[in-house]
Structure 1
């Protein structure tokens, strides 16, 4: 819903601030008061093209700003967030700044954006999947993009025929169907490159596997090389230790034995000495054990140069692998595992392709059956839709104009099924059916959209509808019917309607009056919201012109009372 519109220095608008309401908002005013300028500013909020010619004389730039309530449009919020635009309190503020030289800047919630992003967010044409419903739809002499969109036609038909859920199911299956073929194409593409990749991976795998590595082996080899290179030093140390501790005449064990012998001789004189010698007995045992272990360890050290050469060679081979695949054996083994997985995938790609083709074939059968069912339901829905819209058009006094829904069964699958839909019209029985895109009258287009919305009902995604010229060529009872239909459409949504008919204006939930304000060297436009008394005055003016009479005032009172009864 459009909450506020602020415009400054745009055409004849100097400063304008309108707070729109939910429901039916009426805009009326004298001929030439600037209604078209106001609609042009709204069109700019929808991504319309700008021109520096529209900047108010004497100003350097023009600004158009609109504030939208997104509380009931989570789809728009999600799109903005995907673009990195914050949406605090479910609000979108669109700002267009027009400068000299046809330079224009677009801001979405204060973030500099592009015109395309604005169009895609606020007023996109409905996408094939039907998910990009606009925030604003405008109809009139120059703005009828949605009625010209065949995708939009199919959207309305599916909404009316109750086939929306089936269509979404079809779209999901169709997306999976296309994804499968993309995967198949990827697997089949460049078979030569795939073969080369497989050969390269097998070579790398074998290069690693041939070494038959074990976790932590690099550290073990480094320790062994050090031991082998220093075996003589280790042997010398063991010999010296054994001599110093055990075999020399003055060894530690010899001295301990001397001390223990003398101590035992004195123990007969003083029994406590024996207990004091117990630690020395333990020291002797520890020395014996240490000397034995050193000798055993020394005997196991292989000083064979051939073994050293073997270990160094293996360590060298391992270092080469480390340069290619990782800084440690664990990293190399991890790389080996990844290679094995990729090799398996490449070797099994043919079976994968066959499996995907079978899945695609099964999904295609489902799509063809679902598409045929969708088309059948749409054909029935189209007949009823056309009949109902034509009843509405007769009710709106559009005699001779006949609405048609042209459906063609597609030979190839599309994202929305097997149906091509287009709204057509005939101005007389002798005239040929023509696409609405070639329908010239903005007023007739507006009334066709009015009839469609009346028949189809409220959108599944609330939005703002802008109706211009919807009352062109109608009066009296027909005008009242237009007003009632607009009132119906506005339930749960927002309608902004420019009108010059009192019968239509009377049904408004809010009424805004547009007028020119002469200034010393220029003209400005003013817009004010009318309260009860002022509304009666404006309706009376619309009834009788500038000379308001008691009769027209009474008629205005009656119109308001009946419209809101």
Structure 2
């Protein structure tokens, strides 16, 4: 509930402070006194767009601050969704700076206007004749039915299942689209994959084959050079081994004479061993060398295949070809397993669809069961409000598809006159009738759910006598379970308030300002009497005012 309101530098208000109680609060005042200013300030708290023209003094900032007791509103989830710390005593502040910039705070934490709106709509419901079009809104009509039907628990389950259902359907569509594209490429990808598999690729093979090809292709030149080298080493007269053997023999005879000669001998011996090893390897290579045209052809063919594959796939390494092979293998595998995955998804969707239908049926049955009660309560209330022939025709039909709140199509028709045709509310009722219908609906809702603070803004316009008295009674009854404000010009309604606030204008230093005061006792009797008979107070008006207040 709204516990206090502070307004500074807004419209005709310099500095206004007001505390509010639970129950039924009446706000009265002469036309033009500034009652609409209060509503405008509250609208800013609820997230309405700020306007620089609202500043009374455009050199100073405007500050509007409201304190709410939300301990019984079950709003923790809303606070969490908007990333706010939950506080049972919540302070909402809106500032409009002279620059035109607007700022909003919840419990001193900066928030966006959208967050303010999300929270604000759960705190105050400002209702005027101009806002009765909500009656024709499908979501609002379901809210009315659902409050009586007590379907909150199955609806939570339904919405959770529907979220999964839509997510799986989206995944299925993605798979089906992928399958369509994949099928087009499957044959080509399978061909490419098989081509790479058949090639039996091995990392490093290309380099090895290139080396073998160069050897086979130049076999004669290699044989010639190796043969000449073998001759130079093995010749008995001038061969390298013969010469080095003779040198080694010479130094072996003098090695014992000096460490210097011993070191030289060791180095000569070491070189002899290395040269002999080279000789034996050259000899082996010469023996192994043999022209092999058929092998040359095989190697050349293999190299050409690998070269063509690298060129085809725009890569330079065998390792990259193997990566492409793995990717193609995965693509082909996914394509071949798509049917299996799609069928699995369809089975899951069918299972959730069955659960959704069961929940939707439960919700439908509960909704259908309360329609007669809702119809009876509304028609009884409207009869008290001067509409004795008002009738509702409320039908609930099972829809062919899942909606966000079930599988129902709701039709809310109304007839104001006996024998009149049933039509949509906005076509069958006048503005005044719509106000009374909305009051009746809000009255019924207040019995079945915790409504936010409601402010009725002159919904009794054009109503008088016993009907206005009944409207006051209904609002008073609603205030037993919620905080109710009523801005009114009717004494019959004003007299039923637990608290009476008066909005008035006064001129201070030739500047007009709007103020708000609580009136009690004799002041309240005078206010009611003036509402009855005008500024000229008569004894009968005073007596009537006392009668109404008693």
* Interval containing the TM-score (normalised by the shorter chain): 0.5 to 0.7
Query: 1:14-65 CA distances to partner (integer Å, 9 max, x unpaired)?
Result: 667778879669572412212234435655776879999x8789989x9897
Does the aligned pair in 1 maintain the 2:158–2:406 contact within 8 Å?
A: yes
Structure-1 residue corresponding to 2:140: 152
Task: Classify 1:250/1:352 alpha carbon distance in 2 versus 1 (closer, same or farther; 3 Å).
Answer: closer
Which of residues 284, 287, 304 in structure 2 aligns to 1:313?
304
Does the aligned pair in 2 maintain the 1:393–1:447 contact within 8 Å?
A: no
**Which one has a bigger Cα radius of gyration?**
2
Which of residues 427, 440, 444 in structure 2 aligns to 1:448?
440
Deviates more, 1:272-281 or 1:409-418: 272-281
Does the aligned pair in 2 maintain the 1:407–1:421 contact within 8 Å?
A: yes
Query: 1:494-533 CA distances to partner (integer Å, 9 max, x unpaired)?
Result: x6553464455425xxx86533344889x755244x57xx
Query: 1:60-110 CA distances to partner (integer Å, 9 max, x unpaired)?
Result: 9x98978898997566567768xxxxx6999987789999xxxx9998889
Task: Classify 1:66/1:299 alpha carbon distance in 2 versus 1 (closer, same or farther; 3 Å).
Answer: farther
* Cα distance in 2, alignment partners of residues 541 and 302 from structure 1: 131
Q: CA deviation at 1:377?
A: 1.7
Does the aligned pair in 1 maintain the 2:76–2:86 contact within 8 Å?
A: no
Structure-2 residue corresponding to 1:213: 201
Does the aligned pair in 1 maintain the 2:504–2:514 contact within 8 Å?
A: yes
* Cα distance in 1, alignment partners of residues 515 and 288 from structure 2: 105
SS at match of 2:136: coil
Structure-1 residue corresponding to 2:185: 197
Q: CA deviation at 1:211?
A: 3.2
SS at match of 2:356: helix
Does the aligned pair in 1 maintain the 2:45–2:66 contact within 8 Å?
A: no
Task: Classify 1:76/1:541 alpha carbon distance in 2 versus 1 (closer, same or farther; 3 Å).
Answer: farther
Structure-1 residue corresponding to 2:528: 543
SS at match of 1:516: strand
Query: 1:241-284 CA distances to partner (integer Å, 9 max, x unpaired)?
Result: 989998795848954774476446654x7999989977876665
Unaligned runs of 5+ in 2: 107-111
* Cα distance in 2, alignment partners of residues 20 and 316 from structure 1: 88
* Cα distance in 1, alignment partners of residues 19 and 392 from structure 2: 35
Structure-2 residue corresponding to 1:31: 30
Q: Does 1:169 align with 2:160?
A: no
Which of residues 498, 505, 508 in structure 2 aligns to 1:506?
498
SS at match of 2:397: strand
Does the aligned pair in 1 maintain the 2:135–2:438 contact within 8 Å?
A: no
* Cα distance in 2, alignment partners of residues 480 and 367 from structure 1: 43
Task: Classify 1:275/1:410 alpha carbon distance in 2 versus 1 (closer, same or farther; 3 Å).
Answer: same
* Cα distance in 2, alignment partners of residues 93 and 252 from structure 1: 105
* Cα distance in 2, alignment partners of residues 537 and 257 from structure 1: 145
* Cα distance in 2, alignment partners of residues 211 and 264 from structure 1: 64
* Cα distance in 1, alignment partners of residues 502 and 217 from structure 2: 102
Q: CA deviation at 1:389?
A: 5.8
Task: Classify 1:270/1:349 alpha carbon distance in 2 versus 1 (closer, same or farther; 3 Å).
Answer: closer
Does the aligned pair in 2 maintain the 1:28–1:513 contact within 8 Å?
A: yes
Task: Classify 1:146/1:316 alpha carbon distance in 2 versus 1 (closer, same or farther; 3 Å).
Answer: same
Q: How does 1:262-411 map to 2 (within 5 A)?
A: 262-263=251-252, 267=256, 284-285=272-273, 288-289=276-277, 292=280, 306=297, 309-310=300-301, 312-323=303-314, 328-350=317-339, 353-387=342-376, 400=388, 406-411=394-399
SS at match of 2:364: helix
* Cα distance in 1, alignment partners of residues 455 and 7 from structure 2: 17
* Cα distance in 1, alignment partners of residues 250 and 341 from structure 2: 87
Structure-2 residue corresponding to 1:113: none
SS at match of 2:410: strand
* Cα distance in 1, alignment partners of residues 286 and 386 from structure 2: 114
* Cα distance in 2, alignment partners of residues 280 and 22 from structure 1: 116
Q: Does 1:122 align with 2:107?
A: no
Does the aligned pair in 1 maintain the 2:132–2:435 contact within 8 Å?
A: no
Unaligned runs of 5+ in 1: 82-86, 111-116, 125-131
Query: 1:103-127 CA distances to partner (integer Å, 9 max, x unpaired)?
Result: x9998889xxxxxx96797279xxx
Q: Does 1:467 align with 2:466?
A: no
Does the aligned pair in 2 maintain the 1:27–1:514 contact within 8 Å?
A: no
Q: CA deviation at 1:444?
A: 1.5
Q: TM-score, normalised by structure 1?
A: 0.65
* Cα distance in 2, alignment partners of residues 236 and 535 from structure 1: 129
Task: Classify 1:95/1:206 alpha carbon distance in 2 versus 1 (closer, same or farther; 3 Å).
Answer: farther
Structure-2 residue corresponding to 1:482: 475
Q: TM-score, normalised by structure 2?
A: 0.66
